[in-house]
């Protein structure tokens, strides 16, 4: 299939299987972050009435077991497998859509589609394996613990990896029989719309997945506040996650949160310099550092500080920043003007703090860059771990380097942030690598790698990086309730416990 798409892309609402515009006709536009003179997407801006209609459709579908969705796991399995096949078959076109909306280089957008397909394949296999547990009590009664879908899920996703972020929620939720309303980030409406269309093409009955786009403060907020939603599954900034958790507590909705990170890459003196440098540069600059798991803090043992840093600088200088559509491009633009501004403000704060700017530190200019939000890959050395640059998630191509003396100091620095999403540990001594991996408080610790996320594993944060886990077997747990069915096996009319209340 060709990678050609005609612009602007149209993203409509999908409510109860019907594509529609917003009820008041309003739309919003998404510009190309690499070339702002180009409009990539025109999307429907849902009204509150539209959101409520989408929620009602999902509620009705769940409560009525529409098309046997909740009970027929074979149907769910077929839909998930077919969606994966469609994603794979349409990879070039979908990668182009993602690349245009996000500014993600095609070299990264293509595997991004494959990763989303992999998530659907993985959870397709789970549809028929939602086993519970049973136990006979000493009195002959049977306790059965069964897993049931949590109900109607409101899904709110970010823009940085739009298809995989959505797939990680949609696929396990559907695998267990939930229905849902999906709201994408306003920067990437077409990417998610395309996925929801594919689900329908794959045989999804109407009303099971409803898609609405529009501002988080209106559309997203309604998913959080509406009592017909049973669970909110959110990925985004920690500050937004905290607001959502507070609001969702009004009716005790189930909530899972995948939030920010400020992730250490710990390199000990006995490390393989070349392997560590490559891993760090990959983990740091993938998607221009706009990645929750990016290895944005290098903690390096003093003895190898100069050698490791100089190799990291060489590799970083070799990155080709530019048009995401080009096969040659390694790093694209920031997602938006405001994100570019934020990144440049962090760079200024690093300079104001007197940290050593090793490379980058500025907006890129020139014919290839002037119409987009391009920031040079940047490295600051001698960064104080208590500074903004080391503590706060920048979400851009800015690496903070801090030296340490010994293992205890490395662990202390690694843990001395409010986040706990990922960490990478590099040492030539496997026993030390394991020891450190145990002591770093993060949801994922890579040993001799960085930023790999197998679907079979898990993803999720300690501390202020979130609550709950996505991917792998635990990715199911966020979408199920456990029910106990207690079946009396005594057959007694007067059971021993009744004597506490009833006299014979």
Mind giving me the DSSP string for 323-361?
Answer: -TTSTT-SB---SSHHHHHHHHHHHHHHHHTT-EEEE--
Interface map 404-443 toward ligand NAP (x if CB under 6 A) = -----------------x----------------------
Task: Tell me: does residue 116 bind ligand NAP (CB under 6 A).
Answer: no
Distance between alpha carbon 29 and the CA centroid of its chain, in Å?
Answer: 23
Region binding ligand NAP by CB under 6 A among candidate stretches 102-110, 258-266, 308-316, 478-486:
258-266
Query: Active-site residue among 101, 258, 393, 470?
Result: 258
224 binds ligand NAP (CB under 6 A): yes
Residue from 33, 220, 289, 468 in contact with ligand NAP (CB under 6 A): 220
303 DSSP assignment: G
Task: Tell me which of 127, 292, 340, 470 is the catalytic residue.
Answer: 292
Select the residue interacting with ligand NAP from 73, 126, 159, 369 (CB under 6 A): 159
The smaller minimum CB distance to ligand NAP, of residues 217 and 452, is found at 217
Q: Does 172 bind ligand NAP (CB under 6 A)?
A: no
55 contacts 179 by C-beta, under 8 angstroms: no
Indicate the residue among 240 and 301 with the shorter CB distance to ligand NAP.
240
Among 149, 189, 260, 397, interactor with ligand NAP by CB under 6 A: 260
Rank residues 287 and 329 by Cβ distance to ligand NAP and give the closer one: 287
Residue 393 catalytic? no
Query: What are the distances in angstroms from CA 483 to CA 136, 150, 381?
Result: 16, 11, 54
Residue 21, classed as helix, strand or coil, is: coil
Q: Which is nearer to ligand NAP, 62 or 159 (CB)?
A: 159
- Judged by beta carbon, residue 381 or residue 470, the one nearer ligand NAP is 470
Nearer to ligand NAP, 152 or 202 (CB): 152
Is 466 near ligand NAP (CB under 6 A)? yes
H/E element holding 31? strand 27-32
**Is the CB of residue 217 less than 8 Å from the CB of residue 187?**
no
**Cα-based distances in Å from 294 to 66, 77, 84, 493:** 41, 33, 27, 63
Among the residue ranges 1-9, 158-166, 301-309, 352-360, the one whose residues contact ligand NAP (CB under 6 A): 158-166
Q: Which of 258, 340, 381, 478 touches ligand NAP by CB under 6 A?
A: 258
Given 393, 442, 475, 478, the residue binding ligand NAP (CB under 6 A): 393
Do residues 11 and 193 make contact, with C-beta atoms less than 8 angstroms apart? yes
| Interatomic CA distance for residues 335 and 187, integer angstroms | 8
Percentages of the chain per state (helix, strand, coil), in multiples of 5? 40, 20, 35
Q: Which of 22, 178, 284, 292 binds ligand NAP (CB under 6 A)?
A: 292
Please give the full DSSP string across 199-258, using - where no structure is assigned.
HHHTTPPTTSEEE--S-IIIIIHHHHH-TT--EEEEES-HHHHHHHHHHHGGGT-EEEEE
Q: Which stretch binds ligand NAP (CB under 6 A): 85-93, 232-240, 321-329, 486-494?
A: 232-240
The closest of 19, 46, 16, 42 to 31, measured between CA atoms, is 42
Question: Among this protein's residues, is 101 annotated catalytic?
Answer: no
Site string for ligand NAP, 338-377 (x = CB under 6 A): ----------------------------------------
Which CA distances in Å does 361 have to 289, 343, 345, 351?
14, 9, 10, 9
Q: Among residues 35, 235, 301, 316, which is the contact residue for ligand NAP, using CB under 6 A? A: 235
Other beta carbons less than 10 A from residue 361's beta carbon: 18
42, 122, 35: which is closest to 84 by C-alpha?
Answer: 122
Could you say whether residue 240 binds ligand NAP (CB under 6 A)?
yes
Residue with Cβ nearer ligand NAP (369 or 395): 395
Which whole-number Å values give the CA distances from 287 to 104, 229, 331, 334, in the listed order?
A: 6, 33, 7, 9
459 belongs to the binding site for ligand NAP (CB under 6 A):
yes
Q: What are the residue numbers of the active site?
A: 258, 292
Q: Which residues are at the interface with ligand NAP (CB under 6 A)? A: 156-160, 165, 183, 185-186, 215-217, 220-221, 224, 235-237, 240, 243-244, 258-261, 292, 393, 395, 421, 459, 461, 466
């Amino acid at each position: 299939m060709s990678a050609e798409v005609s612009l602007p892309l149209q993203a409509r609402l999908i409510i109860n299987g019907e594509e529609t515009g917003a009820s008041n006709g309003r739309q919003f536009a998404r510009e190309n972050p690499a070339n702002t003179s180009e409009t990539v997407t025109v999307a429907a801006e849902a009204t509150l009435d539209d959101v409520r209609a989408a929620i009602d459709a999902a509620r009705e579908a769940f409560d009525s077991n529409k098309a046997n969705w909740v009970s027929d796991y074979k149907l769910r399995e077929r839909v998930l497998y077919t969606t994966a096949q469609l994603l794979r078959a349409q990879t070039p076109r979908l990668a182009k859509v993602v690349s245009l909306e996000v500014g993600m280089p095609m070299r990264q957008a293509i595997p991004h589609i494959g990763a989303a397909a992999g998530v659907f394949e993985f959870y397709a296999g789970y549809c028929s394996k939602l086993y519970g547990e049973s136990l006979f009590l000493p009195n002959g009664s049977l306790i059965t613990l069964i897993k049931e879908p949590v109900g109607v899920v409101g899904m709110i996703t970010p823009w940085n990896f739009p298809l995989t972020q959505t797939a990680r929620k949609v696929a396990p939720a559907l695998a267990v029989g939930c229905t849902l309303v999906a709201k994408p980030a306003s920067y990437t409406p077409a990417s998610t719309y395309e996925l929801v269309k594919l689900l329908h093409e794959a045989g999804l009955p109407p009303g099971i997945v409803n898609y609405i786009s529009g501002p988080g403060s209106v559309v997203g907020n309604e998913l959080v506040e509406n009592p017909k939603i049973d669970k909110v599954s959110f990925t985004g900034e920690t500050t937004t996650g905290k607001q959502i958790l507070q609001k969702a507590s009004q009716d005790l909705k189930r909530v899972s949160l995948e939030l920010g990170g400020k992730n250490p890459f710990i390199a000990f003196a006995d490390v393989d310099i070349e392997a560590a440098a490559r891993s760090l540069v990959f983990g740091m600059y993938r998607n221009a550092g706009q990645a929750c798991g990016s290895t944005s803090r290098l903690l390096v043992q003093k003895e190898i500080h100069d050698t490791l840093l100089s190799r990291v600088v060489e590799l970083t200088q070799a990155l080709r920043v530019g048009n995401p559509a080009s096969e040659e491009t390694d790093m694209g633009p920031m997602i938006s003007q405001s994100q570019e501004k934020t990144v440049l403000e962090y760079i200024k704060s690093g300079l104001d703090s007197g940290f050593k700017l090793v490379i980058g530190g500025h907006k890129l200019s020139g014919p290839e860059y002037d119409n987009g939000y391009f920031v040079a890959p940047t490295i600051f050395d001698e960064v104080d771990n208590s500074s903004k640059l080391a503590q706060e998630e920048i979400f851009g191509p800015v690496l903070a380097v801090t030296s340490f003396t010994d293992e205890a100091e490395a662990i202390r620095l690694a843990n001395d942030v409010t986040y706990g999403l990922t960490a990478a540990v590099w040492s030539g001594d496997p026993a030390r690598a394991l020891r450190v991996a145990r002591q770093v408080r993060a949801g994922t610790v890579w040993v001799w790698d960085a930023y790999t996320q197998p679907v079979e594993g898990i993803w999720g944060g300690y501390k202020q990086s979130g609550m709950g886990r996505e991917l792998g077997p635990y990715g199911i747990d966020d979408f199920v309730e456990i029910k106990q069915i207690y079946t009396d096996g005594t057959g007694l009319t007067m059971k021993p416990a009744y004597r506490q209340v009833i006299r014979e």
